[in-house]
């Protein structure tokens, strides 16, 4: 079929008209015939069976009955009236009841004519009734293109109130199939259809909207899910390949003095096998002629900083500069301190640039950057300012990248003739299924083992009633010379309430742990940056034993002596946040503990989160559970809530189909990168349509 037919505005479909078109656009985003065709049902009602009235059970299930109306009456009730009709078949009778739209219904009901009714039954006073049944005359029922499985389409309250019911949408869908004569073009190649035993596009579309049976429906769903995921993967992989062929990078062809000296003489500890593997992957990227675009995932404490430093040393050995950008001042200061420490015997110059860098120091940094005296610049968003110009930036490392917008990152790329190599690091483990879809255009490296000697953090769940025992435990740990975090939730909607919780908590801690024996720091979002820094530094230096804070300490504060993390109202945190907070302890050689405090009132999801935290410290397993609980939208944070705006596939439930789709997309592009072969022409044509009318970035934020 001509692709242009499907781009026809929905206003032109018989039965729509301007008012309905307006509502369909606003409420369901349906602008064209194509959009309507891709409005897939949420669920199906099984209309294969017809029940006799005598067979009805007290189950509240939806049933379908053939019979006649013999009598209609209006019954007065406390508020208003109800319309009641007696409906019979050869085995008994049932009452049909309407509370709304009675005048219209009464005028249109026919007595003693065969009807098919469908709806949920109620059982009361030894008799059955059916409120607001769906009704259709038997002869019309037998003539319509209908399936035994009745589709239920997504809807909104506004559509329902405006008379665009499920039945109306079903009618529009029938109209669309009549006008198109079900002549939909195939969008996958013959080899794919044959290898995967997929049904054709037109058969899949017909059976998703009008399935003849459960088996037909299952085949249609599989085919359409595969297709949706296949095209997302095709576009991501193609983008990656194009990136590698088009975007030239600086080839770092030598591994020189800085890298070798550091590796052989100054490594603070032996690298794990995972770190060695990742460094090798990065070396291969840097040595090719293409720009590196790699995502480095590693749990808190897995040693990403060493990998970052060794990548930086390769850049310096090849005569280039490097920068490392972190989302907060505290984190960038920490990176700066640890790199200065590790590089102190190498001849490299490192500077730090943040919002609070003094003007005179800024000028000096700008000068050194431009004349090439400066090798490594570490900082926050301040690195993105137009004044910051590098002589030759060869490698840009971005830490916790989900906190930076796409435009912000692209600013770094434009500071050079060629874009620098890019390494994006995250300690938030991204489940494989999500990584394949959201970061499918990046190459991914994973550090999946912790350095030897790290002890697992003991995690326990305690109710508020056990608070005194928890205080006793804190005293014992402090007497051994350890430090403690106590974290309160911060939920934006109610900053006043959160602030009160935090201050109440702080006051009770100060009462329990009075001066001069104990010193308590407090940090929250309403403090000035300088005050926050001051309190953080007191804790880092060990001048205070307890840090009471909101989640501002989630990312990157490194205090090896802190061995206890207490999370108050732990049920109010998401799983990945709990995992990140737990990662603040366990950084030294001592046994560390994470205590999750909650009230007794817990939702099922909260229980699952707490049980998961107590059971495992594997970030990837936690991320998988988190993905199942929250769905992909929330996983990536609110600013990317449209992460995967899929029509039929579900990235969690269909992860197996996703893997198959990705491997077939790779195979197709490997054999025919530009999709020029005759057999791939359906893929090429559909791909061109998708790019033209619905870009992949509509699926991925």
pLDDT of residue 77: 85
pLDDT band at 635 (very low <50, low <70, confident <90, very high): very low
Please check the confidence at residue 323 and state whether its pLDDT lies above 90. Answer: yes
Dihedral sign, CA of 657, 660, 662, 665? negative
Please, which contacts does 156-162 make with residues 24 or more away whose CB atoms are closer than 8 Å? 156/27, 156/28, 158/23, 158/26, 158/27, 159/23, 159/24, 159/27, 159/28, 162/23
Please check the confidence at residue 640 and state whether its pLDDT lies above 50. Answer: no
Token code pair at residue 348: 């490299």
Pick the range with the lowest mean pLDDT from 201-210, 379-388, 670-679: 379-388
pLDDT of residue 330: 78
154-166: burial string, b at 16+ Cβ within 10 Å, e else: ebeeebeeeebeb
pLDDT band at 632 (very low <50, low <70, confident <90, very high): low
- Which tens digit of pLDDT belongs to each residue from 567-619? 999 998 888 889 888 988 887 778 999 999 998 888 888 999 999 999 998 88
Mean pLDDT over 635-662 rounds to 67
Whether the Cβ atoms of residue 318 and residue 287 lie closer than 8 Å to each other: no
Query: How many Å apart are CA 396 and CA 66, to the nearest integer?
Result: 71
- Mean pLDDT, the chain, rounded, equals 85
Strand partners, 353: 379
Beta strand segments in 525-603, E: 546-549, 562-567, 593-598
pLDDT band at 157 (very low <50, low <70, confident <90, very high): confident
Q: Pick the more confident residue, 429 or 202.
A: 202
- Which tens digit of pLDDT belongs to each residue from 343-392? 988 989 999 999 888 999 999 999 999 999 999 999 988 888 888 889 99
pLDDT band at 215 (very low <50, low <70, confident <90, very high): confident
pLDDT band at 39 (very low <50, low <70, confident <90, very high): very high
Mean pLDDT over 515-528 rounds to 86
pLDDT of residue 30: 93
pLDDT of residue 648: 87
Phi, psi angle pair for 129, to nearest 5°: -140, 160
Token code pair at residue 251: 């080839």
Beta strand segments in 245-389, E: 293-298, 321-325, 350-353, 376-379
Token code pair at residue 673: 């990168």
Mean pLDDT over 249-263 rounds to 90
Indicate the helix (H) or strand (E) that contains 483: strand 483-487
Query: How many Å apart are CA 698 and CA 693, to the nearest integer?
Result: 10
Structural domains in the chain, CATH included, are: 48-145 (2.40.50.140), 257-287+303-426 (3.40.50.300), 458-616 (3.40.50.300)
Pick the range with the lowest mean pLDDT from 343-352, 484-493, 615-624: 484-493
Token code pair at residue 53: 């009235």
Query: To 10 degrees, the CA torsion angle through 313, 316, 321, 326?
Result: 10
- Which tens digit of pLDDT belongs to each residue from 74-94? 998 888 889 999 999 999 999
Indicate the helix (H) or strand (E) that contains 446: strand 443-447
Distances (CA, A) of 489 to 152, 215, 571: 40, 48, 9
Query: How many Å apart are CA 701 and CA 527, to the nearest integer?
Result: 33
pLDDT of residue 661: 93
Q: Pick the more confident residue, 668 or 100.
A: 668
The fraction of the chain above a pLDDT of 70, given in percent, is 89
Pick the range with the lowest mean pLDDT from 18-32, 102-116, 425-439: 425-439
Token code pair at residue 495: 């900053």
pLDDT band at 623 (very low <50, low <70, confident <90, very high): confident
SS3 content of the chain, % helix, strand, coil (to 5): 45, 20, 35
For the whole model, what pTM was predicted?
A: 0.64
Q: How buried is 355 (Cβ within 10 angstroms: 0-12 exposed, 13-18 middle, 19+ buried)?
A: exposed
């Amino acid at each position: 079929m001509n692709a242009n037919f499907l781009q026809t505005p929905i206003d032109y479909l018989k039965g729509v008209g301007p008012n309905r078109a307006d509502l369909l656009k606003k409420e369901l985003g349906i602008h064209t015939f194509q959009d309507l065709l891709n409005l897939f049902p949420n669920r199906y009602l099984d209309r294969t069976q017809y029940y006799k009235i005598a067979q009805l059970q007290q189950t509240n299930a939806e049933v379908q009955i053939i019979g006649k109306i013999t009598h209609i009456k209006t019954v007065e009730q406390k508020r208003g009236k109800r319309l009641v009709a007696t409906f019979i078949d050869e085995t008994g009778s049932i009452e049909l009841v309407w509370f709304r739209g009675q005048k219209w219904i009464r005028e249109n009901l026919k007595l003693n004519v065969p009807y098919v009714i469908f709806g949920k039954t109620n059982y009361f006073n030894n008799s059955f009734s059916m409120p607001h049944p769906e009704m259709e005359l038997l002869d019309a029922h037998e003539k319509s293109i209908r399936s035994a499985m009745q589709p239920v389409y997504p809807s909104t309250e506004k559509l329902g109130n405006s008379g665009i019911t499920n039945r109306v949408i079903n009618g529009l869908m029938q109209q669309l199939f009549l006008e198109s004569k079900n002549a939909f073009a195939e969008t996958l190649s013959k080899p794919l259809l044959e290898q995967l035993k997929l049904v054709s596009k037109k058969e899949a579309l017909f059976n998703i909207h009008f399935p003849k049976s459960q088996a037909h429906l299952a085949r249609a769903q599989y085919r359409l899910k595969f297709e949706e995921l296949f095209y997302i993967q095709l576009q991501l992989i193609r983008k990656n390949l194009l990136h590698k062929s088009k975007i030239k990078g600086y080839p770092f062809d030598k591994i020189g003095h800085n890298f070798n000296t550091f590796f052989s003489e100054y490594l603070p500890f032996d690298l794990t096998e995972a770190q060695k593997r990742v460094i090798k992957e990065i070396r291969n990227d840097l040595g090719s002629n293409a720009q590196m675009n790699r995502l480095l995932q590693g749990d808190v404490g897995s040693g990403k900083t060493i990998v970052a430093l060794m990548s930086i040393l390769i850049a310096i050995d090849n005569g280039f500069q490097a920068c490392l950008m972190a989302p907060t001042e505290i984190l960038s200061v920490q990176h700066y301190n640890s790199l200065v420490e590790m590089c102190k015997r190498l001849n490299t110059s490192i500077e730090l640039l943040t919002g609070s860098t003094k003007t005179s120091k800024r000028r000096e940094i700008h000068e050194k950057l431009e004349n090439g005296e400066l090798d490594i610049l570490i900082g926050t968003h301040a690195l993105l300012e137009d004044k910051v110009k590098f002589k030759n930036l060869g490698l840009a490392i971005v830490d916790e990248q989900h906190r930076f917008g796409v435009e912000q990152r692209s600013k770094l790329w434009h500071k050079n003739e060629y874009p620098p190599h890019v390494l994006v690091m995250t300690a938030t483990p991204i489940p494989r299924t999500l990584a394949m879809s959201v970061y499918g255009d990046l190459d991914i490296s994973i550090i999946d083992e912790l350095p030897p000697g790290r002890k697992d953090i003991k995690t326990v769940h305690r109710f508020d009633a056990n608070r005194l025992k928890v205080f006793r435990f804190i005293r014992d740990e402090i007497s051994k010379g350890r430090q403690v975090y106590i974290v309160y939730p911060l939920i934006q909607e109610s900053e006043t309430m959160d602030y009160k919780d935090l201050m109440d908590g702080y006051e009770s801690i100060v009462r329990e742990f009075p001066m001069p024996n104990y010193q308590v720091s407090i940090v929250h979002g309403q403090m000035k940056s300088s005050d926050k820094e001051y309190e953080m530094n007191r804790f880092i230096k060990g001048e205070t034993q307890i840090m009471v804070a909101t989640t501002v300490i989630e990312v990157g504060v490194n205090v090896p002596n802190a061995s206890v993390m207490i999370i108050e109202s732990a049920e109010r945190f998401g799983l990945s946040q709990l995992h990140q907070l737990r990662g603040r302890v366990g950084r030294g050689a001592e046994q560390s503990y994470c205590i999750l405090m909650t009230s007794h009132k817990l939702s099922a999801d909260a229980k699952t989160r707490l049980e998961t935290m107590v059971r495992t410290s594997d970030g990837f397993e936690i991320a998988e559970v988190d993905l199942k609980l929250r769905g992909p939208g929330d996983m990536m944070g609110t600013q990317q809530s449209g992460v995967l705006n899929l029509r039929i596939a579900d990235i969690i439930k269909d992860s197996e189909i996703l893997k198959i789709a990705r491997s077939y997309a790779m195979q197709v592009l490997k054999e025919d990168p530009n999709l020029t072969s005759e057999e791939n022409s359906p893929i090429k044509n559909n791909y061109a349509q998708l790019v033209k009318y619905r870009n992949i970035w509509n699926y991925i934020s």
